[in-house]
Each structure stands twice: as C-alpha cells, then as structure tokens.
Amino acid sequence: MTNKLVYFIGNWKMFGDLTSIKVIKNVEKFYKGFVKYNKKNKIVFCVPDTLINFLTKNLKSKRISIGAQDCHHYSDYGAFTGSVNASMLKNSGAKYVILGHSEKRFEGDTNKLIKKKIESALKKKLTVVFCIGETSKEKKYKKTFSVLKKQIADSIDKKFDFKKIIIAYEPVWSIGTGNVPKSHDLRNIFKFIKKYFKSNYKVKSSPPVLYGGSVNERNISMFPKISEINGFLIGGSSQSAKKFIAIIKNYYK
Ligand code: PGA
C-alpha cells in the first residue's frame, strides 16, 4: 500500500436532489472518526451543478470537498444557453471539476475542446480531474497506449499548473459494466502514464493518477497492492454512503 495521499472522488453523474445531502452527511460522520488515525486521504464529491452551493454550505469537514462534472470552455459570461463556466462553479463553492469524462466525450467533447475547458478551469483555480481511457474496440486492437498518449498530448499543455491536475484513467469498457482491468495491465498502464508525464512535461513527479470504472466495495481489495494508483474516481458506488464508506474501509483493511 502506498504512503501517499489517496483520493476517493465520487462522480454522482445525473443523480441527486436536496435529500441526497444525507449521503454526504453519513460519509462525513464516518470520516470524522476515520481521519483521526488515517489522514492520508482526500474525499471529493463531484455533483450536479444544482447541488454544489447547497452541499458546500452544509459541509462541516474541510477534508471533504465538492466538485462539478463539467464546465464550459469560455470563462466569462456569454450567450451560451444552458452552460455554466468555471468561474460560476467556483463562485458556488466547487473546488474540483471533472473534465474529459467519456460520457461527455460521447456527447461531442473533443481533445481540443477539453483542452480549452481545462485552461479555463485552471484559470479559475479549480483542480481538474482529467479523464482518459480507451474503448473496448481500442483495447482489442491494442491501441490503449497510443489512445492515452494522444488524449494527454492533445489536451494537456506544458504551461498548465500541474499542481492543480489529477488524471483519472477510466477505461470506457469498464465504466458501469462491473468489469475491471487485470492488476498486471493496470500496473503497466499507470507506469506508462506517469512516465509519459515525467518525460514530456518536465515535471519532477507525475500528477496523481486515479483509477475509475466499476470500483465497488468488493473489488477495491485488489487495488492497495498496486502502488502506482493514487486513488479512485467512483461513479455508481458513490451514490450510496454505505457503499462509499465500505470502499474506503476495505481499501485500508
Ligand atoms: P462507475 O463510473 O464507477 O459507475 O463505473 C465511474 C465514472 O464514470 O467515473
């Protein structure tokens, strides 16, 4: 198990209303005791924009943060019906934003557009959780490494503030399917991503790299031994306090 900070970032997707605060309150209650003997972790819930301000105002623990799941690439106000920019997210209390999620890529986000979104989020001092990952077809044709390389190269600029960037490796074929990659493959992929950052971006150490895709309270036990993994982006299982807490507990078992 790693001695470094471990992230547990929930991605609520299109889930949650005002009553969903009970999920976060329950996690907060558990975490208050837990953090006394294990401080090397960080919890974030990336929620729909409609809940950011409400949840931020009602959170007591500074060790739990609220984030968003996307932002518009334009950082000022503008004629973009239905859109929310990074500055508005920041103003409502968000500290993090997920960008490049495959579900947004399916809706049309290109590497180039994601780069603009990252730029605008960093400008507003949000921490970016930048998602990358190959589809099952790309995996089948052994294109995983070239896909990841292109996603990073096309969206991450050398001038970016790397202290504000977290990478989330989320194989598309794993999201919501119950299938997770083999430990051996994960180790190779995480090594590749970290090495790529060190050699191409002149950073002393790579940004943290998280794993995402069907993480649950059972399969979490396979991850502690993969020391290259700096945490998790958790979708479905983050919508339940019971599951989310069990993931954290079982990771440290
Ligand atoms: P999942 O989603 O945990 O439900 O597979 C992960 C994600 O989409 O970030």
101 is catalytic: yes
Whole-angstrom Cα distance, residue 192 to residue 138?
Answer: 17
Architecture, CATH, for domain 6-251: Alpha-Beta Barrel (3.20)
Whole-angstrom Cα distance, residue 234 to residue 26?
Answer: 17
Domain segments of the chain as ranges: 6-251
175 CB under 6 A from ligand 1? yes
What pTM value is reported for the model? 0.97
What is the residue-level pLDDT of the chain in tens, covering all 253 positions? 456 899 999 999 999 999 999 999 999 999 999 988 888 999 999 999 999 999 999 998 888 999 999 999 999 999 999 999 999 999 999 999 999 999 999 999 999 999 999 999 999 999 999 999 999 999 999 999 999 999 999 999 999 999 999 999 999 999 999 999 999 999 999 999 999 999 999 899 999 999 999 999 999 999 999 999 999 999 999 999 999 999 999 999 9
Q: How far is the CA of 11 from the centre of ligand 1 (A)?
A: 7
Whole-angstrom Cα distance, residue 123 to residue 161?
Answer: 9
72 is catalytic: no
214 CB under 6 A from ligand 1? yes
CA angle 155, 65, 76 (to 5 degrees): 50
Write the residue with the smallest CA distance to atom 9 of ligand 1.
Answer: 235
